[in-house]
Amino acid sequence: MAKSPYTWGIDIGKCALKALRCRMSPTDPRKLVAEAFDYVEYPMLLSQPEADPVELVRAALEEFAGRNELAGDRVALSVPGQLGLSKFIKLPPIEAKKIPDIVKYEARQQIPFPLEQVIWDWQRLPGGFEEGTFVLDAEVAIFAMKRDQVFKTLAPLQKAGVQVDILQLAPVALANMAIFDQLPPAAAVDPEKPPPSIVIVAMGVDTTDVVMTNGLRIQQRSMPIGGNTFTKALVKDMQLTFSKAENQKRHTSKAEDPKALFQAMRPVFTEFASELQRSLNYFTNADRTATISRVLLLGNAAKLRGLSDYVAKQLQLDVQRLDGFAALEGPAVLGAPAFRENRLGFGTAYGLALQGSGGASIATNVMPREVIRDRLIDEKKPWAVGALVGLLAAALLNFAGLFLAWRSYADDGFKRAFDESDAVQALSQKATTEVADATQKRAAALSLRDTFASVYDRRFQTLDMLRAVEACLPRENLDAADVADREELHVDAIDCQFYPDLATWFTTVKPMWETTHGAGKPVAGTAAGGDPAAGAVPATDPAAPPPDPAMPVDPAAAVDPAAAAEPVGPTGPGWVIQIVGHHFHNEDRHGSEQDEQFVRSTLIRNLDGSGLVPVAAGPRVVDGQAVTVPIDSLGIGFPVIVASPPVRRVQMGRGAEFQGGAPQEFGPGAGPGEDGLVELKRYDFVVQFCWRPGGSLRPVAQPGEQPAVVP
């Protein structure tokens, strides 16, 4: 990769190869310093029938590489605008982090080839503004080239030994040049009041690139008219050879009959002005706020006498040749006769060198990523070889050390070894004494650790509670194709609040508790004999089957009707856990198991029971395996549905959103049956329950009883 601050901008045109070597000014960031240039004109135009473009370009590149030193410099190369695709897309209001995703989506829509067959890049243009995390009025530019065309363009330079770092479309290079050289800095431009736009008209041999920009927005278009069009008009009307017509076009003032030359080219003048007017109309129609201040002509064909005056008269605009670059320095280059003679043709090379030097507004690059990666690998190969040589040298040194140690063996070595052994023995005895002291200190530390261990184990209580809640959620028929048939609850949020006395909370939710568990049902929480301190009694499940008359009834388990008449809720300090969620189990075919009833018969029933739930952390882990405990032994109980809004219809995405998880809600918008959407009935709920860590809100099952297992 390049190690020099200089960049060669190379423009391989159809008439000549133009190259400019530049770097950013070390004192002024708005200046570009030109160090060297080269202009290699072909013996004939590449578009002439008898020309061999491949051979002519190869010879020009060899001549350029032979008389210029490129080692260590970056190289930026341009390709004609008609070989690539340029799209400028206005984005809707969107989160900044989602811009790459929507750009990739737009690229698939705008590029008429599979993305695997093209090389493309994009950049967000200046302008727009951000509100929080959202970007408004943002515009991005997408540039692309077919992969095979990119490698075809790079082939002549690879044969000439020129490594290209940047590959850019010529209109983009012209836009970078115009923004840097002819417009104020983007930071000084008010997006609400942008400056008037300038139009760059770069005349080539066969085509003309038209670029309009105000520093914030860019529009570009190619016209099928170039310098060759004027030459062909002279060949046709004056019966001249192509070479003679080209010579007289370049030197009209020295022609035998200049008036006849202009008469022959006048239709092309008119066609050029009309086509340029059509392009400007297209630009202003696309951006109604744009105003054009001036039109700048580039390219050697723009030196055609009378062209700028004629176009200015036809367009009623300020049209002039760009005879000088305002932000380009370097007297050795700017004062050279060859550069002054062909300065109109160096606009693209200027923009390329500017991008390579880091001063361009648009820094996209359509160079193949694999080519850049291979170059990085090639650069690292010498370092890899050096590392291997170092490892080999270290191995040799290690072997030499071992060899010298073996050769130094002698009898007096034994005495030295015994002396060292006695010293080690004395050191060992000292270490033994120190170990005994350390053991005593360790015992004291272990005693202190055990004091804190009881507190440490409490960290698992929250995990136990969350696992218990997870175990209470229904998980039936999860593979059903229809989301509404899946027996599942979607938890949107879990929150908690501590109460010094849970009776305070229960007083506020008592009416809802009665609604949740059926009107007139006693509150679970009254123990046998009506003693609240004895814990809570599980409420009767309305869906449970009637008791078997043949089964004996335990008198001790009966509840005194007088005691049960007055509901008694939880008391004492504890937490109230709130679960916010929703489900889609609300179709008519589900019968009574819909909306609130579905929550009541699943989550509420499980939280209100004494079913077994797995606990896989803390002191309830036996031999590394999770054990199951009754849910009420974890201090969980008194579930209440505190919010139960009506069922509402929503639109959901159809496809990947249904696989392996809850569907993604898009919200109401398009009507039912639209492609990619399905209509569901959504029921939202809020459930609260009590939790007293380390204690029980209701008595655990008595010996011999078998608690129901939570599904």
Task: Look at residue 643 in the predicted model and tell me its pLDDT.
Answer: 94
Whose tokens are 């020099």? That residue is: 4
pLDDT at 49 over 60: yes
Read off the tokens for 14.
Answer: 């159809």
Q: How are strands ordered across the β-sheet holding 94-95?
A: 94-95, 134-136, 129-131
Q: 247 burial class (0-12, 13-18, 19+ CB within 10 angstroms)?
A: middle
Residue 43 or residue 556, greater confidence = 43
**Mean pLDDT, rounded, of the chain:** 82
Cα 133 to Cα 105, 126, 187, 207, 506, distances in angstroms:
20, 17, 21, 43, 42
Task: Look at residue 709 in the predicted model and tell me its pLDDT.
Answer: 36
pLDDT at 92 over 60: yes
**What H or E segment, with its residue span, contains residue 357?**
helix 347-357
Taking residues 68-74, what's their average pLDDT? Answer: 89
pLDDT at 369 over 80: yes
pLDDT at 136 over 70: yes
Taking residues 89-117, what's their average pLDDT? Answer: 88
CA gap 623, 619 in Å, rounded = 11
Chain segment 538-553, per-residue pLDDT in tens: 333 333 344 443 333 3
In 32-138 the beta strands, taken as DSSP E runs, fall at: 32-41, 74-79, 84-90, 94-95, 118-124, 129-131, 134-136
Taking residues 624-630, what's their average pLDDT? Answer: 71
Comparing CA positions, the residue from 126, 348, 298 lying closest to residue 198 is 298
Task: Look at residue 540 in the predicted model and tell me its pLDDT.
Answer: 36
Q: 196 burial class (0-12, 13-18, 19+ CB within 10 angstroms)?
A: exposed
Residue 77 · residue 153 · CB < 8 Å: yes
Last residue of a domain, one of 343, 360, 377: 377
Among the residue ranges 75-84, 431-440, 653-662, the one predicted with the least confidence is 653-662
Residue 641 · residue 685 · CB < 8 Å: yes
Whether residue 156 is contained in a domain is answered as yes
Task: Look at residue 621 in the predicted model and tell me its pLDDT.
Answer: 53
Among the residue ranges 140-154, 183-197, 479-493, 581-595, the one predicted with the least confidence is 183-197
Whether residue 571 is contained in a domain is answered as yes
Q: Give the pLDDT band of residue 327 (cuts 50, 70, 90).
A: very high
Residues 348 and 251 in one domain: yes
Query: Domain total for the chain?
Result: 2
CA gap 676, 654 in Å, rounded = 5
CA gap 683, 242 in Å, rounded = 81
pLDDT at 328 over 90: yes
pLDDT at 414 over 70: no
Rounded to the nearest 10 degrees, the angle between the axes of helix 258-286 and helix 242-250 is: 80
Burial letters 530-569, b for 16+ CB under 10 A, else e: eebeebbbbbebeeeeeeeeeeeeeeeeeeeeebeeeebb
Length of the chain: 711
Distance of CA 453 to the CA centre of its chain: 46
Residues 480 and 613 in one domain: yes
DSSP assignment letter at 323: -
Task: Look at residue 565 in the predicted model and tell me its pLDDT.
Answer: 43
Q: Give the pLDDT band of residue 682 (cuts 50, 70, 90).
A: very high
pLDDT at 89 over 60: yes
Residues 369 and 485 in one domain: no
Whether residue 710 is contained in a domain is answered as no
Whose tokens are 């590449």? That residue is: 46
Instruction: Name the H helices within 16-169.
Output: 53-67, 99-110, 147-159
Whether residue 349 is contained in a domain is answered as yes
pLDDT at 710 over 70: no
Residue 345 · residue 16 · CB < 8 Å: yes
Among the residue ranges 354-358, 414-418, 656-660, the one predicted with the least confidence is 656-660
Residues 342 and 468 in one domain: no
pLDDT at 103 over 70: yes
CA gap 366, 688 in Å, rounded = 58
Residues 143 and 245 in one domain: yes
Q: 572 burial class (0-12, 13-18, 19+ CB within 10 angstroms)?
A: middle
pLDDT at 97 over 80: yes
pLDDT at 1 over 60: no
CA gap 227, 115 in Å, rounded = 35
- Range from 297-306, 572-581, 632-641 that averages highest in pLDDT: 572-581
Residues 186 and 308 in one domain: yes
Comparing CA positions, the residue from 711, 708, 658, 682 lying closest to residue 476 is 711
Whose tokens are 């300038």? That residue is: 198
- The set of residues, in sequence order, having a beta carbon less than 8 Å from that of 220 and lying 6+ positions away, is 81, 86, 171, 172, 174, 175, 209, 210, 211, 212
CA gap 81, 557 in Å, rounded = 90
For residue 163, the number of C-alpha atoms closer than 13 Å in the C-beta half-sphere is: 16
- The set of residues, in sequence order, having a beta carbon less than 8 Å from that of 522 and lying 6+ positions away, is 539, 559, 564, 565, 567
Q: Give the pLDDT band of residue 250 (cuts 50, 70, 90).
A: confident
Comparing CA positions, the residue from 711, 532, 475, 477 lying closest to residue 609 is 711
Comparing CA positions, the residue from 267, 208, 259 lying closest to residue 236 is 267
Residues 121 and 270 in one domain: yes
Last residue of a domain, one of 377, 402, 423: 377
SS3 track for 293-322:
EEEEEECHHHHCCCHHHHHHHHHCCCEEEC
Residues 372 and 473 in one domain: no
Instruction: Tell me the β-bridge partners of 690.
Output: 576, 637
Residues 635 and 523 in one domain: yes
SS3 call for 385: helix
CA gap 330, 338 in Å, rounded = 14
Taking residues 250-255, what's their average pLDDT? Answer: 76
Residues 464 and 373 in one domain: no
- The set of residues, in sequence order, having a beta carbon less than 8 Å from that of 232 and lying 6+ positions away, is 245
Residues 151 and 15 in one domain: yes
CA gap 163, 374 in Å, rounded = 12
CA gap 492, 29 in Å, rounded = 53
Taking residues 521-526, what's their average pLDDT? Answer: 39
CA gap 475, 466 in Å, rounded = 16
Task: Look at residue 261 in the predicted model and tell me its pLDDT.
Answer: 84
DSSP character string of 197-249: EEEEEEE-SS-EEEEEE-SS-EEEEEES--HHHHHHHHHHHH---HHHHHHHH
Taking residues 334-346, what's their average pLDDT? Answer: 92
Strand 74-79 to 134-136 pairing = unpaired
Residues 366 and 472 in one domain: no
Residue 626 · residue 498 · CB < 8 Å: no
Whether residue 264 is contained in a domain is answered as yes
Q: Which structural domain range is residue 649 located in?
A: 460-533+560-691
Q: Give the pLDDT band of residue 675 (cuts 50, 70, 90).
A: low
% the chain with pLDDT above 90: 40
Q: Give the pLDDT band of residue 616 (cuts 50, 70, 90).
A: low
Chain segment 485-502, per-residue pLDDT in tens: 999 999 999 999 999 999
Whether residue 702 is contained in a domain is answered as no
CA gap 631, 638 in Å, rounded = 12
Taking residues 119-139, what's their average pLDDT? Answer: 84
Whether residue 541 is contained in a domain is answered as no
CA gap 351, 345 in Å, rounded = 12
Last residue of a domain, one of 326, 347, 377: 377
Ramachandran assignment for 529, one of left (phi > 0), alpha (psi -120 to 50 degrees), beta (any other)? left
Task: Look at residue 697 in the predicted model and tell me its pLDDT.
Answer: 65
Q: How are strands ordered across the β-sheet holding 84-90?
A: 84-90, 139-146, 118-124
Q: What angle do CA 675, 679, 683 make, to 5 degrees?
A: 155
Task: Look at residue 559 in the predicted model and tell me its pLDDT.
Answer: 39
DSSP assignment letter at 97: G
Task: Look at residue 529 in the predicted model and tell me its pLDDT.
Answer: 30
Residue 185 or residue 431, greater confidence = 431
Taking residues 88-110, what's their average pLDDT? Answer: 88
pLDDT at 389 over 70: yes
What CATH number should be reported for the domain holding residue 169? 3.30.420.40
pLDDT at 479 over 50: yes
Whether residue 394 is contained in a domain is answered as no
